[in-house]
Structure 1
Amino acid sequence: MANNRSNEFIPESLFRLAHPAVSPASPIVDTHTHLALTFESYRRKYPNGEYKTVYDFVQALYVPAGVQEIVDVWCEAPVRPLWREFADSALTEEKRRDLWGGMGYWFVMGVHPHQAKDYTDAIEADIIEAMAHPRCVGWGEMGLDYHYDTSPRPVQREVFIRQLRCAVRLKKPLTIHSREADADTECILKAEVPKDHKIHIHCFTNAPAFAQRLLDWFPNLYIGITGVITYGSNVDTSTTVRNMFLPSSPSPPRLRIVLETDAPYMVPNPVYNLPAFAKPEVKGQKLPLCHSGMLPWTAGFIANLLPKPQAAARSGAASGADAGGAEMWDAARVLSVARENARAMYGV
């Protein structure tokens, strides 16, 4: 993340992005974003900025970029009352048109493992209440984080299991956070979650073998890909995507991913290849936040990882929209397949 001083050199106009791959046939669906946090970050970094409300922000930056749907994530403890304002403002087609510029707003809610130590009966009751809202499409993010250990590991496991049992009982899709906790995450999911349940492993940076075991066990599980896949320090996420098309894989070749930003975090590196970022006054600076309109650059990076038609033919990969057959992968195709996967995962 850039510091506030760098914002002197990064005009907010650089947040207005349009990718040539985006079309009515390949719209952007961001399956994991923190919209309130993104907007609040924008207001802190640009206190005199152009966009005064979250609706101004979305209508100026998201809708023109081709964002069709977002799944907003509320995972604080205690639950922020602001969720209801956002969700209620998207209840009718008229409100979505007037306030959200026609973009679909959905949300999930849970408690992040960092705050597992703060989980209470009252917070659980608040989440269960939110689950009944028409714009709620899942429970999360929840899970385990052994990198920071902000909450004690036994507490993380206890709260993870407790949330899973609630979500399974309510038949809600699961948004899972797992960092440096592969073994425990896998063990708990397999013990607590029916095999056919819908699962989104959010912002995957774990071991490719861990991903494959989950994909093989849970037929309705999807791997969430953020801009972190574009970072040179991360090879596991790229390997995980490539492995979906290995001839030796027990599963048929299929791009079982959903696209997400985890905004305001993780600006995709390819964004910095745009001409505007080559200008002397901007060159070398980093954007201070990400937003959903940046997803096509992640999609383009993914497309370059996938089989080329001749390679797919030699390997015997199945043809079709999800396989690596005769059709060339590009950003538009990745966006389209990820869009269908988002519909299957969350119904959006």
Structure 2
Amino acid sequence: MSRASPTFVDTHAHVDVVLDKLGLPSADAYLEYADAFAREHGAAAALEACVTIGCSEKSLASAAAVVDGSERMFGAYGCHPLSAREWTRTRTRVREMLTTGARVVAVGETGLDYHRIRDDAEDGEDAEAYKTTQRDAFAEQMRLATELGLPLIVHTREAETDTVAMMKEHLPADARVHVHCFTSSVGMAMELLRAFPNLCLGFTGVSTFKNGQDVRDTIKEVPLDRILLETDSPYMAPVPFRGQTCHPAMGERVAHAVAAVHEVDVEEVFARCRENTRRVYGI
């Protein structure tokens, strides 16, 4: 008896934006597109499902529409750190979506992003005050995930110390966590993996970039049972699709990058990451 073909879940995508960029009318239309893309490019695994993210006032409704449009789409809702000023307006709506929405699997993405903290601060706003706004929204969403018993999706950029400290303060040790699009240091990765045994790190097309050696160095230190495959579509299309609109079917290329770093067959990466997705997200 032949073995079933491998499948993977894109654990982090903004499918509503993908549809817009590709000019597709629905989630089901995209999934047909993804299947054709996989055949055209000889993919080693099929896209089974996606977790699509609504993390701004504008994207909450469009992300939910994607989930409503296909049983292969799952939703996560929250407030991105760069949208943290919206949190006081959206917190009630987010809670309602998390408790009543279809196929809800996580809170987020939320977290801290200090990459352009001074440039992103509004006119007359002190940079430290903006950081405080991000931290307050992050803390509330961590508490919300704990209350609802849902996994948490964390975004962190140039905020390693504060991110780790806040997670240790506000999350139980057994929390299910996906630190997505991980590009931070190996030291941060190891500290988080030790502190939270149910935490996984998500890696994207950056793992395939010529200038992505730091990410590959981190991947090498992370056990296969702590890795999730994601695209963060429509951003960061992997090699050989650089310059194109990234979409979930391209996540297959991330698995190849992980396999090369760990020196294992790509089928093992698909199998291990698929199990990790079940463990974190229940899908």
TM-score, length basis structure 2 = 0.87
Indicate the larger mover: 219-228 or 75-84.
75-84
Cα distance between partner residues in 1 of 2:66 and 2:262: 37
- Whether 1:154 aligns to 2:154 is no
Aligned to 1:183: 161
| Cα shift at 1:52 | 4.1
Flag the 1:254–1:338 CA change in 2: closer, same or farther, 3 A: closer
- Is the counterpart of residue 264 in structure 1 residue 244 in structure 2? no
In 1, the alpha carbon distance for the partners of 2:265 and 2:30 equals 29
Contact in 1 for aligned 2:201/2:228 (Cα 8 Å): yes
Work out the CA distance in 2 between the residues paired with 1:154 and 1:55: 40
In structure 2, do the counterparts of structure 1 residues 54 and 25 end up closer, same or farther at CA, with 3 Å as the change threshold? Answer: closer
Which position in structure 1 is the counterpart of 2:255?
299
Which stretch shows the higher mean deviation, 183-192 or 72-81? 72-81
Alignment of 1:15-26 (within 5 A): 24-26=4-6
CA deviation digits over 1:153-193, x for unaligned, max 9? Answer: 11111111111111111111000000010000000000000
Matches within 5 A, 1:44-59: 51-59=24-32
Unaligned stretches of 5+ residues in structure 2: 39-45, 122-129
Q: CA RMSD, aligned part only?
A: 1.9
Are the equivalent residues in 2 in contact too, given 1:139–1:173 (CA < 8 A)?
yes
Distance across 2 between alignment mates of 1:301 and 1:165 = 35
More helix by share: 2
Give the number of equivalent residue pairs: 263
Q: 1:36 to 1:78 in 2, by over 3 A?
A: closer
Per-residue CA deviations over 1:102-141 (Å, capped at 9, x if unaligned) read xx21010111111111211x41111111112240000000
Give 1:95-106 correspondences, 5 Å limit. Answer: 96=71, 104-106=72-74
| 1:36 aligned residue (1, 7, 16) | 16
Whether contact under 8 Å (1:31, 1:258) holds in the other structure is yes
Could you say which residue in structure 2 is the equivalent of 1:338? Answer: 273
Structure 1 consecutive aligned stretches of length 4 or more whose deviation exceeds 6 Å: none
How far apart are residue 239 of structure 1 and its match? 1.5
**1:248-263 counterparts in 2 under 5 A?**
254-263=224-233
Superposition pairs of residues 112-151 of structure 1, within 5 angstroms = 112-120=80-88, 122-132=89-99, 133-149=101-117, 150=120
Separation of aligned partners in 2, 1:70 and 1:87: 9
Aligned 8 A contact 1:241 1:255 in 2: no
Higher radius of gyration, 1 or 2: 1
- The answer as to whether partners of 2:74 and 2:104 remain within 8 angstroms in 1 is yes
1:336 Cα offset (Å): 1.3
The gaps in structure 1 that reach 5 residues or longer are: 1-22, 44-50, 91-95, 97-103, 245-252, 273-285, 308-328
**AA aligned opposite 1:156:** Q
Q: CA deviation at 1:255?
A: 3.6
